Amino acid sequence: MRSARWGDWSWPKGKLKPGETLPECAVREVSEETGVRPELGVPLPAVSYVLPDGRPKTVHYWAARVHSTGPASATADEIAEVVWLPVAAALERLTRPSDLAPVQALLRRAERGRLDTRPLLVLRHAKARGRAHWPGEEADRPLTASGRRQARSVTDLLACWDPERLLCSPWARCRQTLEPYLEHRETLPMTNRNPVEIVPLLSEHGLHDDPARVGRAVRELLAGRSGALLCTHRPVLAVVIEALAPFTDATVRHRLPSDDPWLAPAEVLIAHVSDHRRKHGVIQRIHSVERYRGESPRKQPAQN
């Protein structure tokens, strides 16, 4: 892509909008500038440099596949030219040497069999009414007004990965957290419109009845062939994180939450999973972990 303002060749990129997370910005900017809506994969190295006017800039990148296509909306005074090139030609076209780093990392991942990943998203429900102030059944305890805002703000974030399977605790606060996303994806060129799978196992009662089954369910999702999202409760997260840990190495394991409350309300953890063939079968590995929070935002959690 050649910038109309600076005349340099670089990758699609842009500025964060208020309340926008880094993945949302990446998907939006690529869509606006190229007409391709990406489905994000593993994060790649960020690039930092100084603009011609002296301002510093840091750009975050992801591996991605084409999710859908449509018309680009960027204007001619923003983008002078967009071209799709083979890797070698793209590397030669780039203006800044620092822009080589993301694609070189992508190629290394491809050589090691770590590029073809699928996401497992773990979402804690948004802020709910306090237990002490709810007169009804625990399973019916609803979201607060701020929790409903959190649930709405997480919709574009979840759409960055378009998970095929959606698994949810049957309790009201989890179902209400997913409802805005289900409505939102009807307005997007989403390929995955499967209904939510209500899984009693993901409730606090389900955890109490058989915690070992929760771990088995997480391992089954890791071994599945498609991306998935599970929406659950803080107590259940301890078992979920424990089940994920053996599929990571030391460089990734420390990025998993290490103590209670594991995730904040409406925070999502994205584990990037791939299959690896071994002598005695196929094993799964988690190659990267990211965490983001659906909140309209003053501050977002750091990218992992």
Query: Which domains does the chain carry?
Result: 2-111 (3.90.79.10), 118-293 (3.40.50.1240)
Cis amide bond preceding 12, omega within 30: no
What's the whole-model pTM score?
0.92
Residue 242 to residues 93, 109, 146, 256, 270: CA-CA distances in angstroms? Answer: 45, 26, 29, 9, 15
Q: Splitting the chain (304 residues) into consecutive groups of 10 residues, what average pLDDT does each group show?
A: 88 90 96 95 92 88 94 90 93 92 94 93 97 94 96 96 96 98 88 90 96 96 96 98 96 94 97 89 94 63 41
Q: Which of 119, 120, 183 is nearest to 151 (CA)?
A: 183
Quickly count: other Cβ atoms within 10 Å of residue 47's Cβ.
19
DSSP for 64-116, written as a single string: EEEEEE------TTTEEE-----HHHHHHH-SSGGGHHHHHHHHHHHHTT-SS
